[in-house]
Amino acid sequence: MRAQPPATAGASDKDHAVRIMKRGPRRIVLTLGRCLKLRCPACGRAPIFGRPFNVKVHCTACGVVFKREEGFFVGAIMANVGATEVLILLVYLLSLLLTNLNEQKMLTALFVVGLTFPLAFYHHSWSFWLGLDHLIEGLSREERSQ
Ligand SMILES: [Zn+2]
Protein backbone atom coordinates (compact mmCIF):
# COMPACT_ATOMS: atom_id res chain seq x y z
CA MET A 1 0.00 0.00 0.00
CA ARG A 2 1.31 3.37 -0.97
CA ALA A 3 1.71 6.04 1.71
CA GLN A 4 -0.75 8.87 1.13
CA PRO A 5 -0.27 12.37 2.50
CA PRO A 6 -2.83 13.29 5.17
CA ALA A 7 -6.01 14.68 3.62
CA THR A 8 -6.20 17.71 5.92
CA ALA A 9 -2.55 18.76 5.88
CA GLY A 10 -1.92 21.50 3.31
CA ALA A 11 1.61 21.99 4.61
CA SER A 12 2.29 18.29 4.09
CA ASP A 13 1.30 18.59 0.44
CA LYS A 14 3.67 21.53 0.09
CA ASP A 15 6.49 19.58 1.74
CA HIS A 16 5.85 16.69 -0.64
CA ALA A 17 6.03 19.04 -3.64
CA VAL A 18 9.27 20.57 -2.34
CA ARG A 19 10.80 17.10 -1.89
CA ILE A 20 9.93 16.24 -5.50
CA MET A 21 11.49 19.45 -6.80
CA LYS A 22 14.69 18.75 -4.86
CA ARG A 23 15.39 15.74 -7.06
CA GLY A 24 18.37 17.01 -8.96
CA PRO A 25 19.03 16.49 -12.64
CA ARG A 26 21.84 14.06 -11.77
CA ARG A 27 19.43 11.76 -9.93
CA ILE A 28 16.89 11.99 -12.74
CA VAL A 29 19.52 11.06 -15.35
CA LEU A 30 20.80 8.24 -13.13
CA THR A 31 17.29 6.82 -12.68
CA LEU A 32 16.46 7.10 -16.38
CA GLY A 33 19.76 5.38 -17.24
CA ARG A 34 18.85 2.50 -14.94
CA CYS A 35 15.42 2.32 -16.57
CA LEU A 36 17.01 2.26 -20.01
CA LYS A 37 19.07 -0.75 -18.90
CA LEU A 38 15.93 -2.35 -17.38
CA ARG A 39 17.51 -2.28 -13.91
CA CYS A 40 15.96 -1.40 -10.56
CA PRO A 41 15.38 2.39 -10.55
CA ALA A 42 16.25 2.59 -6.85
CA CYS A 43 19.58 0.73 -6.75
CA GLY A 44 20.41 -0.32 -10.33
CA ARG A 45 21.84 -3.65 -9.14
CA ALA A 46 19.10 -6.08 -10.20
CA PRO A 47 16.99 -6.46 -13.34
CA ILE A 48 13.30 -5.57 -13.24
CA PHE A 49 12.28 -8.53 -15.39
CA GLY A 50 12.96 -12.13 -14.40
CA ARG A 51 11.65 -13.50 -17.70
CA PRO A 52 10.48 -11.75 -20.85
CA PHE A 53 7.19 -9.89 -20.28
CA ASN A 54 7.19 -10.76 -16.55
CA VAL A 55 7.98 -8.08 -13.95
CA LYS A 56 9.57 -9.37 -10.76
CA VAL A 57 7.61 -8.88 -7.55
CA HIS A 58 10.46 -6.97 -5.89
CA CYS A 59 14.11 -6.06 -6.37
CA THR A 60 16.35 -8.95 -5.36
CA ALA A 61 19.12 -6.53 -4.34
CA CYS A 62 17.40 -3.75 -2.35
CA GLY A 63 13.88 -5.09 -1.83
CA VAL A 64 11.78 -2.29 -3.34
CA VAL A 65 8.44 -3.51 -4.64
CA PHE A 66 8.05 -3.64 -8.44
CA LYS A 67 4.61 -5.25 -8.58
CA ARG A 68 2.38 -2.53 -7.24
CA GLU A 69 -1.33 -2.38 -6.66
CA GLU A 70 -3.80 -3.41 -9.36
CA GLY A 71 -3.90 -0.87 -12.16
CA PHE A 72 -0.51 0.67 -11.44
CA PHE A 73 0.91 -0.30 -14.80
CA VAL A 74 -2.01 1.08 -16.82
CA GLY A 75 0.24 4.12 -17.19
CA ALA A 76 2.97 1.94 -18.70
CA ILE A 77 0.48 0.56 -21.18
CA MET A 78 -0.68 4.06 -22.03
CA ALA A 79 2.94 5.18 -22.52
CA ASN A 80 3.49 2.22 -24.83
CA VAL A 81 0.38 3.06 -26.86
CA GLY A 82 1.34 6.74 -27.04
CA ALA A 83 4.91 5.96 -28.14
CA THR A 84 3.58 3.58 -30.79
CA GLU A 85 1.22 6.23 -32.15
CA VAL A 86 4.01 8.82 -32.30
CA LEU A 87 6.30 6.34 -34.08
CA ILE A 88 3.60 5.42 -36.61
CA LEU A 89 3.05 9.11 -37.31
CA LEU A 90 6.80 9.72 -37.73
CA VAL A 91 7.21 6.72 -40.03
CA TYR A 92 4.23 7.87 -42.06
CA LEU A 93 5.53 11.44 -42.41
CA LEU A 94 9.07 10.32 -43.22
CA SER A 95 7.85 7.83 -45.78
CA LEU A 96 5.78 10.58 -47.42
CA LEU A 97 8.85 12.79 -47.63
CA LEU A 98 11.53 10.24 -48.46
CA THR A 99 9.91 7.40 -50.41
CA ASN A 100 7.54 6.80 -53.28
CA LEU A 101 5.64 3.94 -51.61
CA ASN A 102 2.11 3.48 -52.83
CA GLU A 103 -0.72 3.55 -50.32
CA GLN A 104 -0.96 -0.23 -49.95
CA LYS A 105 2.77 -0.67 -49.21
CA MET A 106 2.75 2.28 -46.81
CA LEU A 107 -0.21 0.85 -44.90
CA THR A 108 1.52 -2.52 -44.73
CA ALA A 109 4.70 -0.92 -43.35
CA LEU A 110 2.70 1.08 -40.78
CA PHE A 111 0.79 -2.06 -39.80
CA VAL A 112 4.07 -3.91 -39.21
CA VAL A 113 5.37 -1.01 -37.10
CA GLY A 114 2.09 -0.95 -35.15
CA LEU A 115 2.40 -4.66 -34.37
CA THR A 116 6.11 -4.96 -33.61
CA PHE A 117 6.97 -1.72 -31.79
CA PRO A 118 4.66 -2.25 -28.76
CA LEU A 119 6.25 -5.66 -28.21
CA ALA A 120 9.77 -4.26 -28.56
CA PHE A 121 9.01 -1.28 -26.28
CA TYR A 122 7.02 -3.29 -23.71
CA HIS A 123 9.85 -3.74 -21.18
CA HIS A 124 11.08 -0.18 -21.43
CA SER A 125 7.61 1.32 -21.03
CA TRP A 126 7.18 -0.62 -17.77
CA SER A 127 10.69 0.26 -16.67
CA PHE A 128 10.24 3.99 -17.33
CA TRP A 129 6.86 4.00 -15.62
CA LEU A 130 8.43 2.40 -12.55
CA GLY A 131 11.30 4.89 -12.70
CA LEU A 132 8.88 7.80 -12.92
CA ASP A 133 7.08 6.55 -9.84
CA HIS A 134 10.43 6.20 -8.08
CA LEU A 135 11.35 9.80 -8.91
CA ILE A 136 8.00 11.22 -7.84
CA GLU A 137 7.10 9.20 -4.77
CA GLY A 138 9.90 6.74 -4.15
CA LEU A 139 9.35 3.00 -4.35
CA SER A 140 8.28 1.30 -1.13
CA ARG A 141 10.36 -1.44 0.41
CA GLU A 142 9.21 -5.01 0.65
CA GLU A 143 7.62 -5.79 3.99
CA ARG A 144 9.49 -8.72 5.48
CA SER A 145 7.48 -11.08 7.65
CA GLN A 146 10.40 -12.29 9.81
ZN1 LIG B 1 16.94 -2.43 -6.20
- Residue range 45-69, pLDDT digits in tens: 999 999 999 999 999 999 999 988 8
125: exposed, middle or buried (Cβ count in 10 Å: 0-12, 13-18, 19+): buried
Ligand 1 centre distance from Cα of residue 39 (Å): 8
Domain membership of residue 5 (yes or no) is no
* Residue 11 pLDDT grade (very low, low, confident, very high; cuts 50, 70, 90): low
Give the closest residue to 23 by CA, choosing from 108, 135, 139, 101.
135
Is residue 52 in a domain? yes
Give the three-state DSSP class for 58.
strand
- Which residues have C-beta under 5 Å from ligand 1, the single-atom ion? 40, 42-43, 59, 61-62
127 assigned to some structural domain: yes
139 CA from centroid of ligand 1 (Å): 10
Assess if residue 143 is contained within a domain.
Answer: no
Question: Which pLDDT score, from 0 to 100, does residue 8 have?
Answer: 46
Q: Is residue 141 included in any domain, yes or no?
A: no
Domain containing 59 equals 22-136
pTM assigned to the model: 0.75
Going from the Cα of 43 to the center of ligand 1, the distance in angstroms, rounded, reads 4
Q: What is the mean pLDDT of residues 14-18?
A: 62
Q: What's the pLDDT score for residue 2? A: 46
What is the bridge-based pairing of β-strands 54-55 and 49-51?
A: antiparallel
pLDDT of 96 > 60? The answer is yes
Q: What domain count does the chain have?
A: 1
Sign for the pseudo-dihedral over CA of 109, 49, 24, 139: positive
The rounded radius of gyration (Å) of the Cα atoms in the chain is: 19
